[in-house]
Each structure stands twice: as C-alpha cells, then as structure tokens.
Chains A and B, each alone.
Chain A
C-alpha cells in the first residue's frame, strides 16, 4: 500500500514537468516533423526534403556546420577533461570558486561575449597586435569572419557546459576506485584513461551531445563571428524563415538538425563500454 502511495506521489511530482514538456516540446516537435512531410495542399510528400537535399548550397553549409561542430566538440573535451578532473580534486572552498569561474561566462550575454571576440580577433585586435609586436607577421591576419573565428567563439561558449557535465560525472566516481587502480599498479595516466574515463562515459556522452547540439544550432556566434559570408545551418534556417518566409524549408532544415544530433547521440551510446 505504501509503495503504491509512493508511486502515486512520484507520478504527481513528475506531472507538472511532463505536462510542460508535452505541450512546449513534444507536441511542437511532432508538429515540426509532420509538417515537414506535407506539401502546399496538405498531401504527404518528400518533395521538401528532396528540394533541400538536392541543393549544392545546402550540402556546403551542412558540411561546414558539421565540420565546425566536429572540431569544437573534441577540443572542448580535450580542454575540459583535465580541468574537470583537477576541480574534482580540489577542496570544497576552492572547488566552489572554480565552479563560479566556470559558470561566469554563461552569465554574460552571448552577444556581449561575441562582441568581445571582435576586439580580440579584429584587424587591430589583441592577437594581431601581439603578432605584430613580436614580429611574427608584418600585415594583420584576417581572423574575423572566418570559420576559425566561429570555432573560437563556440569553444568559449560551450566549454563551461562540458566542464560542468564532466565535473558532475567525475564526482560520482568513488575515490576508492581510483586508489584501488593505483594500488594495483596502474599509473596515473592509465588510471585516468582505463578507469576514470570509462566510468564517466555517461557524463562524457551528455557533454558531447550538449556541445555538439549547441554547435549545430548556435545562431548568434556564427552570425556575428562568421558574418554573412560564412553561412551555417542556423543562419541558413533564419534566411529561409525570416527573409523568404519559407517556413517549410526552414522546418526541413530544423528536422535535419535534430536527426543529425540524434544520430550522434545514439552512435555515442553504442560506443559506451559494454561492462558499464
């Protein structure tokens, strides 16, 4: 009887969140999916997909977006894993300071953050001035409005998310596990790669999915740092929706974005170590 009551209470607690998600996420998502398979007179058709998928520009923009996401995500993992590991080893006080520092960029507006990059990457920005001062370059390099600028902006934008996810995953690993591995002769590097990484793999999958999805869907950073010469999927989708009023075309791009993310997520799930 008690168990039934607990189940009921749990269901009731889940209800507000589930209703919210149902109305503001699941139903709109279903609407987007179904709408993308309907023609102008309401008939079922793949025409919209074939139109978008046939377009050479779409291929180019899709591959560019994928390339950027596939550069940013591993870079974020490489930079965030050691940082997250060191943070988990800190005392409570230091950890709290470090976590605040990690969260700080998330508290500033993406627009302000992105404009700061203009000051850094501009023709007379910090990087070009430094390179000129140490006589590495005689002419300022073109750093703004390039794919490189987007990569830098997205890495800064999503790194805190990767660090937070990994800190949370690494904190759940009991300290004894690491100690046991070390006492059994595994070196620090071996323990990190053979014990800590597999045990924090779920957190890694979550972090990679969030960062990859963020890179695929980010709008402000690619729009400002890439400009109109470096289109990505999100800037292309905006063009379709808000310039051409081609909501159907924008819907297809949105579905392709979602499918791309789902494929990555499930591929990573399959790569999960079997013993876990």
Chain B
C-alpha cells in the first residue's frame, strides 16, 4: 500500500512538472528559433569617430556579428553632432549618442537624450559607482574615464609639481593650455583657482592668474592633435593634456614626463546615452550594455583607446601607465559639476576673449 502511495506521488509529481518542462522546452525552442531578435535592424550611432579602425575592430564588428545588426555611425565633434541632433529633434535619426563634458549636460537640457532603463543593462553593476549616473536623472553612463594630466620637457625646464608652476619664467612663450571652449578648458580655471587660493570655488583668482599667464602662452589648443604638433615641433615645453593623447605625445620620443601635481588632476567621463525618441530603444540599450561589457572594455583598454570603467578589468603595467587607471591616479582626480560649467560657459568665453583681445 505504501509502495502504491509512493508510486502515485511520483506519478503526480512527474505530471505536475510537465508544464515547467514544456515551458523550458518552449523557451529553448524560442531562443533556438530566434537567437538574434534584432537581426536585420540598423542602429544609428552618434560619436566622435577618432580611431575608427580600432572602434570598428573592438566595438562595432563584434556587436554586428553577435546580434546580426548593422551599425551606422554619424561622426564629428561634440558641437557638430549636438547641432544635428537638435535640428532633427522632431524626427530623430540617432539611437545612441556619445558626448563629453558640458555637451552631455546640454544634451539633457535640449532633450535630445532620454533616461536609460537600468533593468536592460546587465553590465551596469560591474562599473564604477561614479560612472553609473554622472549627469543625474539616469541620462547617461560614463563608459570611459579620462583625465587632464600635466606634462613637461625634462631637458628644458624645471620639474613641475603644481599648477602654480605654469607661471614659471622658464615657460614664457613655451606653454599651451586647452582653449576655454574645449572639454577641459574650464577645468584650467578651477585648477588655477585651487592652486593659488586653495579653493576651487574662488574662480576670480583663477581668472586673474589666467590673465597673468596669458603672456606665457604660445597659443591655446582646440584639438589634441594640435598639442601633438606643438610638442613635436618643440614649440611648447609644458602643457595640460587629455589622457587619450598621451600615447601620441610619448610617440614623439622627446624627454617628456607626466606628473600628478599637488592639487591633483582633472577627471571626466565620456558618456553614452539613449537618444530621445529612438524607435530602437531595446537595441540602443543592448549596444550600451555591449560598450560596458568585459570584452569591449578590455579590448579598448589594451589598444589604448579608452580607459575602462569596469571594476574587474586587470591591465598589464605598461598598458595601465598610458591610461586613466589605478587607485593612485583615480584618487587624485577632481570632477567638476557639468551643470555649473554649462551655466557659466557664455560668460567664461567672453572673459577668455576679453583677455586675449587686448
């Protein structure tokens, strides 16, 4: 009798598992039938396009092959792409947009990017906390971290240990800094303020020091390629540089050293966002998740394209030395409020022009 009860119980249990078994089978069948749910679709990206061959190898091709989609890139600098997206706001073409600095904040103001859905991003938990929502409102994710470093010619001038040293006499006519309208331009004012007054907020001091510094400036550069030319032609002996340009600066084979000055360096994220009004919202999230994946973050770092924001990326020392990587460097980075920078942009550009129009 007991055996019969046990047998019956087993039979009942087996039948009760049938729906689950079918459900699993159905799921497997669905995946088998459609492993590429977005196959044949097109994803429109708006990004810079610098080092496009490496971006193609590390980011675009793997994504296209994995999901059977086509990626179409619209390339250009922040302002040109921003302008295009604003102009097409009523009928958006772009699905995913990448911006840097105050442009990312301006993109939220112009409503050309929309908040992301964290539940669609499996890699979000693996990245630095500060990169998850640098603009607030979940409008963007920092997919790479960068910094503004300081470098100098060791054979031409005394060692630089502080942002104050940019005013040294041996740099007169041999100094360049990023122009105020560039991503890192406003940071110079903050760093000079900190160096000369002890506070980032005393920007009047920063402006006064910039005015004094203007005689030392050979020019102010707008693109990192300009800085490379100036260094290569030995026109300048010291400069704040964007970390992604360090590889090219080293390639000049001149005796150049980078330093972490006592006031620290400037940090920033390049961000990735879902374009507002995209018709491919899920695919856009899939691409953002792909950008944050271990494979892409590692490949981009190993090719010295982008510094990783994932916490689990381990890099060889020779690669790490050329990126924004490592506890010592990252703990010395100062991040500035993009909202504040966007708010003072016009005023600061006027101030800059006034100084250099004398």
Q: Which residues of A contact B (CB under 8 A)?
A: 56-57, 60-61, 115, 118-119, 122-125, 142, 144-145, 223, 227-231, 236, 239, 242-246
**Residues of chain A lying within 8 A (CB to CB) of residue B346:** 244, 246
B99 nearest CB across to chain A (Å): 14
Nearest CB in chain A to that of B218: its residue: A145
**Per-residue contact bits, chain B 233-251, to A (CB 8 Å; 1 contact, 0 not):** 1110000000000000000
CA distance A31 to B233 in the complex (A): 45
Q: Across the interface, do B349 and A239 meet the contact criterion of CB distance under 8 Å?
A: yes
Q: Which one, A122, A236, A245, contacts B233 given CB within 8 A?
A: A122
The distance in angstroms between the C-alpha atoms of A244 and B348, with both chains bound, is: 11
Interface string of B308-345 (1 = CB under 8 A from A): 00000000000000000000000000000000000001
- For the A-B complex with A122-B233, A123-B234 known, give 18 more contacts whose Cβ atoms are closer than 8 Å: A57-B350, A57-B354, A61-B357, A118-B233, A119-B233, A123-B233, A123-B235, A124-B234, A227-B220, A227-B221, A228-B221, A229-B219, A231-B357, A236-B353, A239-B353, A243-B79, A244-B346, A245-B106
Contact of B235 with A144 in the complex, beta carbons under 8 Å: yes
Question: Hey, which chain B residues are within 8 Å of A246, CB to CB?
Answer: 346
| Contact indicator A231/B353 (Cβ below 8 Å) | yes
* Interface CB pairs A-B, < 8 A, 23: A57-B354, A60-B357, A61-B357, A118-B233, A123-B233, A142-B218, A144-B218, A144-B219, A144-B235, A145-B218, A223-B222, A227-B221, A228-B179, A228-B221, A228-B222, A229-B217, A229-B219, A229-B356, A231-B353, A239-B181, A239-B349, A242-B83, A244-B349
Is B208 engaged at the interface, CB distance under 8 Å to the other chain?
Answer: no
How distant is the Cα of A227 from the Cα of B223 in the complex, in angstroms?
Answer: 11
Q: Smallest CB–CB gap between B163 and chain A, Å? A: 20
B79 x A227 contact (CB < 8 A): no
Name the CB-closest residue of B to A122. B233
- B173 close to chain A: CB less than 8 A: yes
Contact B357 A57 (CB under 8 A): yes
Q: Is B13 an interface residue (CB 8 A)?
A: no
A25 to B229 Cα, complex, angstroms: 38
What chain B residues lie within 8 Å of A144 (beta carbons)? Answer: 218-219, 235
Give the distance in Å from the alpha carbon of A119 to the alpha carbon of B229 in the complex: 10
The complex places the Cα of A61 from the Cα of B221 at a distance, in Å, of: 19
Q: Given that A145-B219, A227-B219, A231-B357 are known contacts, is A122 also in contact with B235, CB under 8 Å in the complex?
A: yes
Instruction: Say if the beta carbon of B33 comes within 8 Å of chain A.
Output: no
Considering the chains assembled together, what is the distance between the CA atoms of A223 and B80 in angstroms?
Answer: 17
A246 and B218 alpha carbons, distance in the complex (Å): 28
Kindly list chain B residues whose C-beta atoms are within 8 Å of the C-beta of A124. Answer: 233-234
Query: For the side of the interface on B, what is the size category?
Result: 20 to 34
**In the complex, which residues of chain B have a beta carbon less than 8 angstroms from the beta carbon of A123?**
233-235
CB pair B229 A229 closer than 8 Å: no
Question: Given A61-B357, A228-B179, is A243 in contact with B219 using a C-beta cutoff of 8 Å?
Answer: no
Q: Which of A57, A119, A239, A242 contacts B80 (CB 8 A)?
A: A242
CA distance A132 to B181 in the complex (A): 37
Q: How far is the CA of A122 from the CA of B231 in the complex (A)?
A: 12
Contacts of A142 in B (CB 8 A): 173, 218
0/1 per residue, B193-221, Cβ < 8 Å to A? 00000000000000000000010011111
Nearest first, the 3 A-B pairs at minimum CB distance are A227-B219, A242-B79, A243-B181
Q: What residues on B are CB-neighbors of A245 within 8 Å?
A: 79, 82-83, 86, 106
| A243 to B233 CA separation, bound complex (whole angstroms) | 28
Q: How far is the CB of A239 from chain B (nearest CB, A)?
A: 6
**Bound Cα distance A143, B182 (Å):** 25
Give the residues in chain A near B233, CB-CB below 8 Å.
118-119, 122-125
Report if A244-B345 is in contact (Cβ < 8 Å); known contacts: A118-B229, A122-B233.
yes
CA distance A125 to B233 in the complex (A): 9
Q: Give every chain B residue within 8 A of A228 (Cβ-Cβ).
A: 179, 219-222, 356
Task: Report B220-278 residues with CB < 8 Å from chain A CB.
Answer: 220-222, 229, 233-235
How far is A193 from B275 in the complex, measured between Cα atoms in Å?
65
A242 and B82 alpha carbons, distance in the complex (Å): 9
Nearest-neighbour CB distance to chain A for B270, whole angstroms, equals 18
CA distance A227 to B217 in the complex (A): 11
The interface residues of chain A lying within 8 Å CB-to-CB of B345 are: 243-244
B219-A57 in contact (CB<8A): no
A142 CA to B346 CA in the complex, in Å?
31
Q: Tell me how far the C-beta of B124 lies from the nearest C-beta in chain A, rounded to whole angstroms.
A: 31
Which residue of chain A has its CB nearest to the CB of B174? A123
Q: 1/0 contact trace for B67-89 toward A, CB 8 Å?
A: 00000000000011011001000
Residues of B within 8 A of A243 (CB): 79, 181, 345, 349
Closest A residue by C-beta to B355? A229
Closest to B350 in A: A57
Question: Which chain B residue lies CB-closest to A123?
Answer: B235
